[in-house]
Structure 1
Amino acid sequence: MELHRNGHAWDPDAYDGSHSFVSEYGEDLLEWLDPEPGDRVLDVGCGTGQLSAEIASRGAGVVGIDTSEAMIERARSSHSNCSFVRADATEFDLDEPFDAVFSNAALHWISDQDAALESIRNALRPGGRFVAELGGAGNVRSIVDALETELRERGYEAANPWYFPSIGEYAPRLETHGFEVRSARLFDRPTELENGEEGLEDWLTMFGDSFFESVPADERDAIVAAVEDELRPTLFQDGSWVADYRRLRFAAVALEE
């Protein structure tokens, strides 16, 4: 799911394969959305469209947006019951208003949060619902701290691509852009990574490539190995890596302008 992501390249095969937990965990968020037949729903950061299709299966009309052309192409070829548009969450403009906006594991990739929230508010009818989940304050802190420390000790500057807010930080931001927050929850969700011993390296390859922008290719493996050594006592359990995820989930309503 690529939105405004500083050039991050997404691999649909890997995303749907060894990182399918992203959309699988998002299925629980659909209960907060509770789409009804006839609803018009926008999926912001739709990725390969798996959750868009789930929403559509409940009778809603769904449009998914994402800036990754590869993800949009996969979504179009896999899910004919939805419409998919390549668009940036910070500046999209679709013709008809929506009854609801849904977003899973995408908002924390956006550098200009205010522009994104303004675009989302403009896409909703008054009274429309905004239901989303993103990384919350402290998300993957152990991994980020270990990686940034290792990079710094080797003389490299880390480029952290993520924004992980607290409820106290994000709720006022939503209110500033014309939303009334009806519910918000920050919670721990330890997440087992697939592929056993290779799980953390695969996760960093999929999601953390921004950290390695200034690192020569021949040093990357050594850095990853050092991070694994640092985290193994706490995050490697029963043959698998378990990432220290924390999620921020909210439901808000668009107020009359």
Structure 2
Amino acid sequence: MNNLMTAKNSWNASLYQDKHSFVWQYGEDLLQLLNPQAGEFILDLGCGTGQLTEKIAEFGAEVLGVDSSVTMIEKARQNYPHLRFEVADARNLQVEKPLDAVFSNAVLHWVKEPSAAIACIHQALKSGGRFVAEFGGKGNVQQIFEALCNALAAIDIPHPQTLSPWYFPSIGEYANLLEAQGFDVIYAVLFDRPTPLAESEIGMANWIKMFASNFLVGLSSDQQVQVIREVEKSLQAKLYHQGTWTADYRRIRIVATKI
């Protein structure tokens, strides 16, 4: 496995596992689309702390979990010492033998060079092998993104939209990229999935620190607090109900086979 770290490699793995478990819990029913079979060799691309990697292994498949974050891989190895985990980048994957399937949950919206990732996935698969993924699609966290941009503009941060670390494609855009690299797209859906956040009134602040930290880089502690408070204030009527924050998630699911 050829290792190439991404920019987002300093994840707080404990905060992710303890307060943002919805990431992998929502991915469990994606396993039905994957339909792992005993004896298959499957890659869990962007495995995080390893929960879904373990579930794939329970079907009897040989599974390798990879993530660009050293802290995530360390936590995954602690959680599941009987499984294999490696640090690797989606844009530079190399595997020792062809894969029956590549599975990826809540990862590919972090990869702003999607064609590079798709090329690596295609190369790693057997002919007829399948690619099953869910990630943020067009319109994902749009309200949170706009609130962050407005809060940063209010303290004279220029062009805050350029700070986004995300790639949220439409079905058409992503299907075209897959087809251009030799995939047959057999299933694609884009859907709203409002997602309640843990920790009641501090749920939005935790989410921003975990998943939108790019927008806070270079700000003083006071400025970070000011921005988060402004975001909370602007979103309270829309995304805060009965003591719980909700993230305005929109997800894309794709199943494609290598031609």
TM-score grouping bracket, smaller chain normalisation: over 0.9
Distance 1:7 1:246 in 2: 21
In the alignment, the residues of structure 1 paired with residue 83 and residue 123 of structure 2 have an alpha-carbon distance, to the nearest angstrom, of 21
Matched, 1:220 2:228: no
Tell me the residue number matched to 1:184: 188
Distance 1:231 1:85 in 2: 38
Q: 2:90 — aligned with what?
A: 89
Whole-Å separation in 1 of the counterparts to 2:9 and 2:41: 29
1:4–1:90 contact (8 Å) kept in structure 2: no
Q: Give the distance between the partners of 1:226 and 1:147, measured in 2 at CA.
A: 8
How far is the alpha carbon of 1:149 from its aligned partner? 1.1
Q: Which AA in structure 2 matches 1:195? A: E
- Aligned-pair distance for 1:217? 2.0
Partner of 2:19: 18
Give the distance between the partners of 1:6 and 1:210, measured in 2 at CA. 10
1:125 is paired with a residue whose SS is strand
SS in 1 for 2:27: helix
Secondary structure (helix, strand or coil) at the match of 1:41 reads strand
Deviation, 1:53, is 0.4
Q: What is the 5 A alignment of 1:23-172? A: 23-157=24-158, 158=160, 159-172=163-176
CA-atom RMSD in angstroms:
1.2
Kindly report which structure 2 residues correspond to 1:215-254, keeping only aligned pairs within 5 A, or say none.
Answer: 215-254=219-258
1:161 is matched by which residue type in structure 2? P
CA distance in 2: counterparts of 1:82 and 1:166, whole angstroms = 34
Distance (Å, rounded) in 1 between the aligned partners of 2:92 and 2:226: 39
Say if 1:53 and 1:81, in contact at 8 Å, map to a contact too: no
Structure-2 change in CA distance of 1:81 and 1:246 (3 Å): same
How far apart in 2 are the matches of 1:233 and 1:184? Answer: 32
Letter of the structure 2 residue corresponding to residue 162 of structure 1: W
2:209 partner amino acid = T
Identity of aligned residues (%): 47
* Structure 2: distance between partners of 1:131 and 1:162: 20
Amino acid at match of 1:134: F
Residues 31-75 of structure 1, C-alpha deviation per residue, up to 9 Å, x if partnerless?
000001111100110111110000000110000111111111111
Counterpart residue type for residue 155 of structure 1: D
Q: Aligned-pair distance for 1:8? A: 4.6
Unaligned runs of 5+ in 2: none
For normalisation by structure 1, the TM-score amounts to 0.96
8 Å Cα contact 2:65/2:86 also seen in 1: yes
Worse-superposed segment, 245-254 or 111-120: 111-120
Q: How many Å separate the matches in 1 of 2:179 and 2:155?
A: 42
Between the two proteins, the alignment pairs up a number of residues equal to: 253
